Structure 1
Amino acid sequence: MRELPADMVLPEGMVPDEPPATPAVPRDAATVVLIRDTTTGPEVFLQRRVAGMAFAGGMTVFPGGGVDRRDADASIAWTGPEPAWWGRCFDCDPALATALVCAAVRETFEESGVLLAGPDATSVVADTRPYADARKALENRDVSLAQFLADAGLVLRADLLRPWAHWVTPIEEPRRYDTRFFVAVLPDGQRADDVTSEASDALWQAPASAIADWREGRRGLMPPTWAALADLDEFDSTAAVMAADRTVEKIVPRVVRRGGTLHVVLPGDPEYPTGTDNEVGRR
């Protein structure tokens, strides 16, 4: 488990002064770290969330969001590792694994315009512009991912994803997510954009550069985002990232107040609370 920087703090107000008597139940969610090769090494796609949003407003994040109940639709045309394999990677049952993979594909398309699907098991859409109306319909929840893919004659490409990490929001926070992180390479011909109501800007950036922006105060990063960037900074190509032998470990941070500021601590840290049920509120 990567150690967080000692000077990483959370925005004031993210955690209430009085912790909830009963921690919120975390909502299942999926996040996708999109990567691409450049002449100087891999870059990642980042979005700054609109300020004022209920969760992580103003913070820089990867595309992602909560699981929709329709994401578990077993009728979705799928190629790649089966749900049982994803379940073993993320320590969950196949039904939830199906929903997580589908949520990852859906949220990535909604928030960045990148679609990890193709006409068949060996191809991927090269231009997603013809699906602009469907993208908006997905975002508005007017259609499900299964309906969109069926109408478009597309197959979900689960083989384009890799499991990367698993973070659960601290029990001190009022909005909690049980988030599985995936990585995926930007498909040839496609482009990631900022056409989403949830982001004020978006960009491709080298992991080290994104961390430098955080350190200089130009961007805010949540601990899971910082950790993913720090991990990815160790790779010199997207092929190496996708070939990495990762063991996904669930991380349940806690929030402590240190010198008037909010800090996140991880299991094993001397300040990590002990003698408490750190899984309170989990399904």
Structure 2
Amino acid sequence: MREQPFDAAQDLTDAPRVGGTQRPRDAATLILTRGGSRPEVLMGRRAPGHVFMASKWVFPGGRIDRSDFTAASAGDLAPGVARRLEGELPARRARALALTAVRETFEETGLVLGRAAPAASVAGPWREYRQAGALPDLSVLSYVARAITPPGRSRRFDARFFMAPAEALLSPEPTAGSGELDEIAWLPLDQARALDLPAITRFVLGELAERLDHPDRPLPFVRMVRGRHVVEHRD
């Protein structure tokens, strides 16, 4: 199994240091894949007006919301996924982060990862998802990477990257979503790597390519320690 390189210099260019002591906020990202011999991945381009990573191609995702702690689901995290997450944070927060990935993907792309269920009326950010007639299915998620934005950036996230197959979607094609992403597309991995990507997204794409052949490879954790980027691998 090959270890993926991380471009530390590009990472500093992506999000220059602006000062301050912001603490990273928990966030989650969902990598959707489809295809066999030539796998494709779903990616979106961030609108130019964003303060953070403007015009970069990324996976859908965002920060955790209070509603993610109480949202209903049709399936629980697989035991191995739950074990890895719960080695880092409490079980309730681990589940909430998995739900964050599902909710943010729906908001940004219109794609519903879940099982068909009677439409329900709920308040808050889950309202439109539940009105679409679905419940999120956490059992299809794999946990594939973690990354913390370096100190001093305008936005800092402690991001968990999840992966799921397109077969778990109730509809295969994205919509315009919330408008946070101004273009959304299924892309072959080689085409995705040629886009204008943040360093962490490029790193995770490489990790994804390896993981498709070796699903049990150790999970990478990217962060800055004493001023240097470090990639630590955890079983």
Cα displacement string for residues 46-92 of structure 1 (whole angstroms, at most 9, x for unaligned residues): 1110112122111110000010111001x61331326x864531221
CA distance, structure 2, for counterparts of residue 33 and residue 231 of structure 1: 11
**2:40 aligned with 1:43:** yes
CA shift, 1:98, in A, is 1.6
Q: Is this contact kept in 2: 1:35–1:42, CA < 8 A?
A: yes
In structure 2, the residue corresponding to 1:96 is in which secondary structure?
helix
* Mean CA deviation greater in 87-96 or 161-170: 87-96
In structure 2, the residue corresponding to 1:205 is in which secondary structure?
strand
CA shift, 1:151, in A, is 5.8
CA shift, 1:9, in A, is 5.5
CA shift, 1:117, in A, is 1.4
- Alignment RMSD, CA only? 3.3
TM-score (norm 1): 0.68
- AA aligned to 1:29 is A
Provide closer, same or farther for how the CA distance between residues 167 and 7 of structure 1 changes in structure 2, counting only shifts above 3 A. closer
Provide closer, same or farther for how the CA distance between residues 33 and 267 of structure 1 changes in structure 2, counting only shifts above 3 A. same
CA distance, structure 1, for counterparts of residue 226 and residue 178 of structure 2: 30
Q: Which residue of 1 aligns with 2:28?
A: 30
In structure 2, the residue corresponding to 1:110 is in which secondary structure?
helix
**2:191 aligned with 1:209:** yes
Provide closer, same or farther for how the CA distance between residues 254 and 56 of structure 1 changes in structure 2, counting only shifts above 3 A. farther
CA shift, 1:12, in A, is 7.2
Q: Which residue of 2 aligns with 1:271?
A: none
Of 124, 128, 142, the residue aligned with 1:143 is 124
Q: Is this contact kept in 1: 2:27–2:61, CA < 8 A?
A: yes
Between structure 1 and structure 2, the one with the greater Rg is: 1
Q: Which residue of 2 aligns with 1:266?
A: 229
CA distance, structure 2, for counterparts of residue 247 and residue 182 of structure 1: 14
Structure 1: segments with no counterpart, 5+ residues = 126-130, 257-264, 269-283
Q: Which residue of 1 aligns with 2:68?
A: 71
- AA aligned to 2:67 is R
Q: Is this contact kept in 2: 1:47–1:201, CA < 8 A?
A: yes
- AA aligned to 1:192 is P
TM-score (norm 2): 0.81
CA shift, 1:148, in A, is 5.5
In structure 2, the residue corresponding to 1:95 is in which secondary structure?
helix
Provide closer, same or farther for how the CA distance between residues 24 and 42 of structure 1 changes in structure 2, counting only shifts above 3 A. same
Within-5 A mapping of 1:108-187: 108-119=105-116, 143-145=124-126, 154-187=134-167
Structure 2: segments with no counterpart, 5+ residues = none
Of 41, 50, 53, the residue aligned with 1:53 is 50
* Mean CA deviation greater in 247-256 or 223-232: 247-256
**2:209 aligned with 1:233:** yes
- AA aligned to 1:176 is R
CA distance, structure 2, for counterparts of residue 228 and residue 244 of structure 1: 14
Q: Which residue of 2 aligns with 1:15?
A: 17
Cα displacement string for residues 191-244 of structure 1 (whole angstroms, at most 9, x for unaligned residues): 123333111212221222222x24xxxx2x112210111122346xxxx46x71
**2:232 aligned with 1:247:** no
CA distance, structure 1, for counterparts of residue 112 and residue 35 of structure 2: 18
CA distance, structure 2, for counterparts of residue 227 and residue 249 of structure 1: 10
